[in-house]
Structure 1
Amino acid sequence: MGGIDHPGFFYFRKDMDSTIFEIFKKYTRRYVKLTDEELARIESVCTYKKLRKQQYLLQEGDVWKLHAFIVRGCLRTYSIDEQGKEHIVGFGVNNWWVGDRESLKSGKPSKFNIDAVIKSEVILIRDRDFTRLLKEIPAFNEMISTILDRSFMAAQQRILSFISHCAEERYLAFLEVYPGFAACIPKNMIASFLGITRETLSRVRKSAASK
């Protein structure tokens, strides 16, 4: 398996195009105001990774030790059952964070895979550096707390959707959450994420398009 410590995994920060971190800086302004010194401190611990289509960021069995911010592209988080069937638990797109928080906090091997649905670029921060940033920069800590709260609420909404919404309602919600990316994601992946078959997805898409 190719884990996060696999040789050649990281691109050094010096190879990062100046526009890459500008995207992250713009993202932070949605939440907090960071000083130039604070942003420079964050940038100093960032590394950069380009992912080919279907290239892994994390493989099942590896321990996740990073915080990954998606600059461009689309990644998916999924597991594979004993029958070899994929179960997609989430997608991550531009300006989203992705990773396995359970593995990160427990230090146990991940039960999930994360790979690129399309060519993608991510900014990576090792957990030990990330923890220092939270202590050193209160505004950054505030931003991450807000993001974690929103992520928790989104997870609750997805559970509620599976319990109480029909397939068409789940599909329409998917289009709202991932505008502009639905066309890039293979239909079998969308069906897996929604918990329906490809045939059901085809019927749902036709029904939604006719309204």
Structure 2
Amino acid sequence: MEQLLDYINQHSSSGISEKDFETVKSYFTHKKLRKKQYFLQEGDICRHFGFILKGSMRQYTVDDKGAEHVIQLAIENWWVGDRESYTMSTPSVYNIEAWEDTELLMISRQDVLELFQRCPAFIETVKMMDDRNNIANQRRITSSISASADKRYTDFINCYPNLLERFPQHIIASYLGITKDTLSRIKRQLLQKE
């Protein structure tokens, strides 16, 4: 729970009192997932959001031809879940699976709404998380519709250098919307420039 406490203190201007943090803790449940185990499967309703304590996860969808398309990669101190399904209680179009053995803290939508009534620091943290998520999504959309594959990769390594060590090339290529061969070519060209 120390990681969650640190996260809240980093993302709220006033921090959180010990009493309020005890309240926050009471709403979360701890869960362990083995590598390749699902947090959410397509067709299920996302009933919890998860805060990753240890490990890594990926969120992806599968098209009609069976090809996977990675939507999100996540590591420690990141949140995972399908926002639309979680908010609207609709079946998810995504799969979220542990890429490594993973531990996370989970919270339901109802518990989040109750915490909003009880803890201002938690409200501020969730607002900051939502703002950052919206900014990242806008940048990703802009990049995917207007940036070259080379630019998408260099932006990715500048923004998320830790993810390079945690996920294999084919997963990163899928996240960037390029082929594994294109990513290999880009990496070779970057090495030649050094």
Give the TM-score, by structure 2 length: 0.94
Asked whether 1:28 is paired with 2:11, we answer no
Of all paired residues, the percent bearing the same amino acid is 39
Deviation of residue 108 (structure 1)?
A: 0.9
- Give the number of aligned pairs: 191
Asked whether 1:61 is paired with 2:43, we answer yes
Q: Amino acid of the residue matched to residue 21 of structure 2?
A: L
Matches within 5 A, 1:1-211: 21-32=1-12, 33-211=15-193
Secondary structure of 1:181 counterpart: helix
Q: CA RMSD in A?
A: 1.2
Deviation of residue 181 (structure 1)?
A: 2.6
Q: Distance in 1 between the 2:182 and 2:136 partners?
A: 24
Secondary structure of 1:182 counterpart: helix
Q: Amino acid of the residue matched to residue 104 of structure 2?
A: V
Q: Amino acid of the residue matched to residue 185 of structure 2?
A: R
Q: Distance in 2 between the 1:45 and 1:137 partners?
A: 12
Deviation of residue 88 (structure 1)?
A: 0.7
Give the TM-score, by structure 1 length: 0.87
**Which one has more relative contact order, counting CA pairs under 8 Å at least 6 apart?**
2
After superposition, give the CA deviation of every residue in 1:39-98 in whole Å (9 maximum; x if it has no partner). 000111211111211110000010011121011221111000111100111111111111
Q: Distance in 2 between the 1:63 and 1:207 partners?
A: 43
After superposition, give the CA deviation of every residue in 1:96-154 in whole Å (9 maximum; x if it has no partner). 11100100111110000000112221111122111100111122111111110110011
Q: Which runs of 5+ in 1 are unaligned?
A: 1-20
Q: Distance in 2 between the 1:107 and 1:184 partners?
A: 31
Q: Which runs of 5+ in 2 are unaligned?
A: none
- The structure with the greater share of residues assigned to helix is 2
Q: Is the 8 A contact 1:38 1:137 kept in 2?
A: yes
Q: Distance in 2 between the 1:186 and 1:137 partners?
A: 39
Q: Is the 8 A contact 2:44 2:92 kept in 1?
A: yes
Runs (4 or more) in structure 1 with deviation over 3 Å come to none
Q: Amino acid of the residue matched to residue 28 of structure 1?
A: I
